Amino acid sequence: MTSSQNIPKSIIGGLLALFVSTSVFSADITHALRNNTQDKATTENYFELGLGAGIGRAPSLTDDDATWAAPYWVINGSYNWNGLFVEKYGESSDPILLGYNAYESEDWSLDIIIGPNFSGLHFDDKFEDLDDRNSSTMFGGRLTGYLGDNVVQFSVKHDISGNSHGTSASALVGRNWQVRNWNFHSLIGLQFFDSRINDYYHGINDAEASRTEFTRYNPGSNFNATAEVGVTYPVTENWVFRSTARFSTVSDADMDSPIFETTSSTRTSLRTSITYVF
């Protein structure tokens, strides 16, 4: 979540492009890895607030420079009640996630999840003549396995809002390790977005092409490979320092879209934050 009042529109566009374009991992495994929860800790009740700064290179919807740099607020929290949970992790592509833990064992956990994802193009005038792109409500399952020192997570979600009608899936594997009080983690994975998601958010239909300067575009499905390394350090009992480097590929299904001002075959970012845990 980013404070948008003091940030140039181009930066907002760049950041939105990051999220619209499926760059960020499912945060749940990231959160589990960051907090060293291979002891199978369940969704916990906590809240933290902080400030971060990031820099990186990514395709942009509005900026003609692929390099971006921006501060952002970090709002993380989760609450669990009898298997029902709500999660809001700053690392996540899901703004907020509601779920129900349907099954849990020593090594596996299955969650039924629902939450909004992706966003529209309301932030820039150049998109004003395009049809509205509204948020999708993604409903599906999330299977997390704790296999030795590794955490694996598979998720499949489908839009039930009727906006994109799309389906996304991901397979991620990660691990963490502790060096004194520093908690390092690494993560690699694949993300899949079907043609309906890509078409709804990045496509240009005939009607739009006829009334705007955008050319018609009808993308297919795509896979993105992702990787992440990071470190988390407890500065005090309430303050936590985090730093994360991320890399992901960008498919042609995204980059061939005429709505992008700047294209790039990869996304890279380095983010650092400090948060206060209540």
Partner 1 sequence: MLTLLRIKKIKISLLVGYLITTLCLIMASNVYASSADTTNTTNTNDVAHLEVSPEQCIALRKGQKCYLEVTFSWRHPQVRDYCLVNITTNKTIKCWDRQTKGEFNFDFQSTLSHDFALRVKGATVDLAHARIPVAWVYKSSKRAKSTWRLF
Tell me, what DSSP letter sits at residue 135?
P
In the complex, the smallest distance separating the C-beta of residue 120 from partner 1, rounded to whole angstroms, is 23
In the complex, the smallest distance separating the C-beta of residue 36 from partner 1, rounded to whole angstroms, is 5
In the complex, the smallest distance separating the C-beta of residue 80 from partner 1, rounded to whole angstroms, is 9
In the complex, the smallest distance separating the C-beta of residue 92 from partner 1, rounded to whole angstroms, is 17
CA-nearest of 171, 137, 174, 133 to 157 is: 137
> Which one, 100 or 223, has the nearer CB to partner 1?
100
> Which one, 104 or 131, has the nearer CB to partner 1?
104
> Which one, 81 or 162, has the nearer CB to partner 1?
81
Which residues make up the interface to partner 1 (CB under 8 A)? 7-8, 10-11, 35-37, 39-42, 44, 46, 51-53, 55, 63-65, 67-71, 83, 100-106, 109, 112, 178, 180-181, 183, 232-241, 272-274, 277
> Which one, 125 or 132, has the nearer CB to partner 1?
125
In the complex, the smallest distance separating the C-beta of residue 93 from partner 1, rounded to whole angstroms, is 22
Q: Is the dihedral of CA 58, 62, 67, 73 positive or negative?
A: negative
CA-nearest of 195, 145, 143, 148 to 170 is: 143
Q: How far apart are the first and last CA of the chain?
A: 18
Q: What does the buried/exposed string (b/e) look like for 46-78 if buried means 16 or more CB atoms within 10 Å of the residue's CB?
A: eebebebebebbbbbbbbeebebebebebbbbb
CA-nearest of 44, 47, 75, 42 to 277 is: 47
Collapse the DSSP code of 133 into the 3-class scheme (helix H, G, I; strand E, B; otherwise coil) and give the result. coil
In the complex, the smallest distance separating the C-beta of residue 182 from partner 1, rounded to whole angstroms, is 9
Q: What does the alpha-carbon distance between residue 205 and residue 130 come to, in Å, rounded to a whole number?
A: 9
Pull the structure tokens for residue 168: 């996304």
> Which one, 84 or 207, has the nearer CB to partner 1?
84
Q: What does the alpha-carbon distance between residue 176 and residue 170 come to, in Å, rounded to a whole number?
A: 20
In the complex, the smallest distance separating the C-beta of residue 133 from partner 1, rounded to whole angstroms, is 25
In the complex, the smallest distance separating the C-beta of residue 29 from partner 1, rounded to whole angstroms, is 15
> Which one, 71 or 120, has the nearer CB to partner 1?
71
> Which one, 225 or 274, has the nearer CB to partner 1?
274
CA-nearest of 169, 231, 219, 164 to 30 is: 231
* CA dist 235 → 91, 127, 145, 182, 185 (Å): 19, 44, 29, 10, 17
> Which one, 44 or 252, has the nearer CB to partner 1?
44
